[in-house]
Chain A
Amino acid sequence: MHDLIQKLTALPWDQSPQWLFLIPAGLMLLAAAAAVALRNLIHSALCLTLSFIALGVLFIALGAEFVGFVQLLVYVGAVAMLIIFAILLTPASEVSASNNPFRSFKLSRAVNAVAGGAVVALVLAGLFTAIFFSPRVRAAVPSPNAAAPVALIGENLLTHTLLPLQGTAILLTAALIGAALLAKEEKES
């Protein structure tokens, strides 16, 4: 009977139709667009958080459970809070029109739109070429149930990618010490 229950309540991602993928993906894009477009910085940060959450859901929907949960844990739990704290601790969090440093570069709307569009197109084209022509992506054969077990990920982290892991750890420690130093100096002034 346990098998029956397990089969019935198992996550139905494997059999779910392809278009379900569009829900988190669309939400992610919408939230990211809102994060860019909104005037209020805190609203932008919250929209960015929503985008992070949707990305995590997308990973889980694609079968990468571990990466999805880590995405939620790190980006929603740490990075989003970091962004919000940075906004709150910055004295003038709203750039007014008079002291906008980019005012002298003010061009017409059409030129702005063309320039922005060109930059976006260039970045997207670069990303697409990088992904489509990378030998790893071409070699990868998508298999059903490709979710790597957690143990395998852990083993890889501590063998093949040990050096980058330790390098990241040193970088983060340096950042932490730097932040503590900056915070300490406030007292003496």
Chain B
Amino acid sequence: MNLENLPLAILKAILDAFTWCGAKAGIVVPPWALTLVSILIVIVAILSVFLVMFALMSVLERKILGRMQNRYGPNRVGPWGLFQPVADGIKMLTKEDLVPRSADQIVHFLAPIAMVIPALMLPAILPYGRGMVPVELASGILYFFALGAGTEVAVFMAGWSSNNKYSILGAMRAIAQMISYELPLVMSAVIAALVAGTLSPNGIVMAQAGVSFGVVPNWFVFTPWGFAACILFYIGALAESNRSPFDLPEGESELVAGHLTEYSGFKYAIFFMAEYIGMFAINGLLVTLFLGGYQAPFPFLEWIPSWCWFFAKLAFVAFSMVWVRATMPRFRIDQMMQFAWKFMLPMSFVALIAAAAWHYAGRGLAAWGISFLIVAVPYLLLGRFCFTRRHTVDNRRYLFSE
């Protein structure tokens, strides 16, 4: 009995107990019932882990932000303010659920549901540990992005049905941002899939096992193309989950709350939850694609269970997102679009070429050098020539309002 197999052992114990209870009651448990129960257990496990992470994140984020801004953050409810999510939950649940009279009642009601269903389905394909993949799909990466596409429709439903100018403006911004950043996001995921030779998340994690040159783990982030793709994916993930500096769809100083303006109470809480669970899921995909998934960095650290490594990496990426939020100001919308189309997209193609060069040059030290050159030269050129022209008042042009 070791810690590595603990989650699987718990699952097996519950199934055994189920069979035993059936035998006691004199019923032979059919195989489909066992399948159903094991699927239910896995669903409950995923939901509870991600909901607990959401609750923890909602308080830790505010505490970390507070510390970074030289204040305390929430510290009134419970020890160190840790019960803040409980207080928030009670507040959200008891608040009145306001629906504007001129809103489209049905679509307004369905939008939070359309938002939360894909978000809750996203974590199903992530490999949490050795042999711990809830749903083994040969095209798991594709599943992730296919479900992510549903979010855009949900955001549009929320924005349009509210019948409010701030809502529709926020929704349009959010959709423009999601479509623009989905391209580099998918491109950088494609690079990892190409090098691993598979679209299955577990296969991609397996391809990152081991250590090269004696010290460097074989994680994709430690290759030049992988580093570039990882950064691109990270920025794309920030944009897809509407987090600062890409929070302009909800920019509270301009648009009240974007597509969430007319939502209150429990529906607002559902949007909030969907956003955070989507963020955890996309961070999990980042860990899977580039940070070696559940692999330990060095062989001598393998006594720590693989699922601990996964969640430690996930926590690190989530913390870095809070860090970015405390550091960066919000983009202006034209800067956001320019950055996506003039920098992110070309760089993702460059990373793709660098990955191909790395693969065909034999994946050794020479390949590392060639790949580094292919990434670094376009990066410097793009940075030098695309973003040095300052957008001052003189040369800013308003295309549609002159």
By a beta-carbon cutoff of 8 Å, the part of chain A in contact with chain B is: 1-2, 4-6, 8-12, 15, 42-43, 46, 49, 53, 56, 65-66, 68-70, 72-73, 76-78, 80-81, 84, 147, 149-151, 186-187
Per the 8 Å Cβ criterion, residues 38-65 of B in contact with A are 38-39, 42
Contact A46 B400 (CB under 8 A): no
Knowing A5-B11, A187-B400, say if A69 contacts B142 (CB, 8 Å). yes
Give Cα A1–Cα B148 distance, bound, in whole angstroms: 32
Which label, helix, strand, loop or mixed, suits the secondary structure of the A interface? helix
On chain A, the residues within 8 Å of B68 by CB distance are none
Contact A12 B35 (CB under 8 A): yes
On chain B, the residues within 8 Å of A81 by CB distance are 152-153, 156, 175, 179
- How many positions in chain B have a CB within 8 Å of any CB in the partner chain? 43
- Asked if B382 is an interface residue, CB under 8 A from chain A, the answer is no
- Asked if B131 is an interface residue, CB under 8 A from chain A, the answer is yes
On chain A, the residues within 8 Å of B147 by CB distance are 72
- Asked if B269 is an interface residue, CB under 8 A from chain A, the answer is no
On chain B, the residues within 8 Å of A56 by CB distance are 146
Knowing A65-B139, A70-B146, say if A1 contacts B39 (CB, 8 Å). no
Tell me how far the C-beta of A158 lies from the nearest C-beta in chain B, rounded to whole angstroms. 13
Contact B32 A12 (CB under 8 A): yes
Contact partner of B160 (CB less than 8 A), chosen from A4, A15, A42, A66, is A42
Closest A-B pairs by Cβ, 5 of them: A77-B149, A2-B131, A72-B146, A8-B38, A69-B146
Using an 8 Å CB-CB cutoff, how does the interface string of B117-140 with A read, 1 for contact, 0 for none? 000000000000011001111110
Contact A6 B142 (CB under 8 A): no
Contacts A/B (CB < 8 Å), 17 sampled = A5-B38, A8-B15, A8-B38, A8-B39, A9-B38, A9-B39, A49-B153, A65-B137, A66-B139, A66-B142, A68-B146, A72-B150, A76-B153, A77-B146, A147-B138, A150-B138, A150-B198
Per the 8 Å Cβ criterion, residues 159-214 of B in contact with A are 160, 175, 179, 182, 197-199
On chain B, the residues within 8 Å of A80 by CB distance are 153
Tell me how far the C-beta of B31 lies from the nearest C-beta in chain A, rounded to whole angstroms. 9
On chain A, the residues within 8 Å of B131 by CB distance are 1-2, 5-6
Tell me how far the C-beta of B8 lies from the nearest C-beta in chain A, rounded to whole angstroms. 6
On chain A, the residues within 8 Å of B9 by CB distance are 1
On chain A, the residues within 8 Å of B319 by CB distance are none
- Asked if B157 is an interface residue, CB under 8 A from chain A, the answer is yes
Q: Kindly name the residue among B152, B156, B198, B400 whose own CB sees the greatest number of chain A CB atoms within 10 A.
A: B156
On chain A, the residues within 8 Å of B152 by CB distance are 77, 81
Using an 8 Å CB-CB cutoff, how does the interface string of B352-379 with A read, 1 for contact, 0 for none? 0000000000000000000000000000
On chain B, the residues within 8 Å of A42 by CB distance are 107, 160
Q: Which residue of A lies closest to B144 (CB)?
A: A69
Tell me how far the C-beta of B334 lies from the nearest C-beta in chain A, rounded to whole angstroms. 15
Give Cα A77–Cα B151 distance, bound, in whole angstroms: 8
Knowing A9-B42, A150-B199, say if A46 contacts B149 (CB, 8 Å). no
Contact A46 B107 (CB under 8 A): yes
Give Cα A53–Cα B149 distance, bound, in whole angstroms: 11
- Asked if B264 is an interface residue, CB under 8 A from chain A, the answer is no
Contact A73 B138 (CB under 8 A): no
Contact A8 B34 (CB under 8 A): yes
Per the 8 Å Cβ criterion, residues 17-41 of B in contact with A are 32, 34-35, 38-39
Give Cα A66–Cα B32 distance, bound, in whole angstroms: 26
Given contact pairs A11-B135, A65-B139, enumerate 5 new A-B contacts (beta carbons under 8 Å): A2-B131, A9-B38, A10-B136, A81-B179, A186-B400
On chain B, the residues within 8 Å of A186 by CB distance are 399-400
Knowing A8-B38, A46-B157, A80-B153, say if A73 contacts B145 (CB, 8 Å). yes
Contact A187 B399 (CB under 8 A): yes
Tell me how far the C-beta of B352 lies from the nearest C-beta in chain A, rounded to whole angstroms. 15
Q: Which residue of B lies closest to A15 (CB)?
A: B32
- Asked if B143 is an interface residue, CB under 8 A from chain A, the answer is yes
